[in-house]
């Protein structure tokens, strides 16, 4: 689905983090990274254990040229990856964070 469909769902239920996450993903697919950021922030702030929202937010902020803003989100995602035994994201995040240092 395109972002317009998800935007309508978010408008009807603005507190629904799944609609917002789907909207953010659609915006990213459309190359509208800056527009995805507030939706990813909403998702990450709403669920303390949502690793993927933090990964996408961190990567999006990096792509937008904001490494200082991305780093805390990526560090949180790494902590969650370790806690949740997600080895591939853990490896990827360690690599990204090493490059940021």
Q: Which pLDDT value is given to residue 1?
A: 79
Q: Write down the domain spans for the chain.
A: 3-100
Q: What is the pLDDT of residues 62-80, one digit of tens each?
A: 999 999 999 999 999 999 9
CA gap 77, 42 in Å, rounded: 15
CA gap 89, 97 in Å, rounded: 12
Task: Return the SS3 of 13.
Answer: coil
Contact status, residue 93 vs residue 84, Cβ threshold 8 Å: no
Helix axes 67-83, 87-100, angle to 10 degrees: 150
CA gap 10, 14 in Å, rounded: 5
CA 98 to mean position of chain CA atoms: 19
Q: Which pLDDT value is given to residue 80?
A: 98
Q: State the chain's mean pLDDT as an integer.
A: 97
Q: What is the pLDDT of residues 18-46, one digit of tens each?
A: 999 999 999 999 999 999 999 999 999 99
**In CATH, what is the architecture of 3-100?**
Alpha Horseshoe (1.25)
Q: Which pLDDT value is given to residue 101?
A: 84
């Amino acid at each position: 689905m395109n972002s317009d469909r998800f935007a309508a769902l978010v408008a009807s239920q603005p507190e629904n983090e799944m609609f917002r996450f789907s909207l953010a993903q659609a915006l990213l697919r459309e190359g509208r990274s800056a527009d995805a950021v507030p939706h990813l922030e909403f998702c990450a702030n709403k669920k303390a254990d949502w690793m993927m929202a933090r990964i996408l937010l961190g990567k999006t902020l990096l792509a937008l040229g904001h490494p200082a803003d991305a780093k805390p989100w990526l560090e949180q995602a790494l902590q969650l990856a370790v806690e949740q035994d997600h080895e591939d994201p853990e490896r990827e995040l360690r690599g990204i964070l090493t490059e940021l240092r």
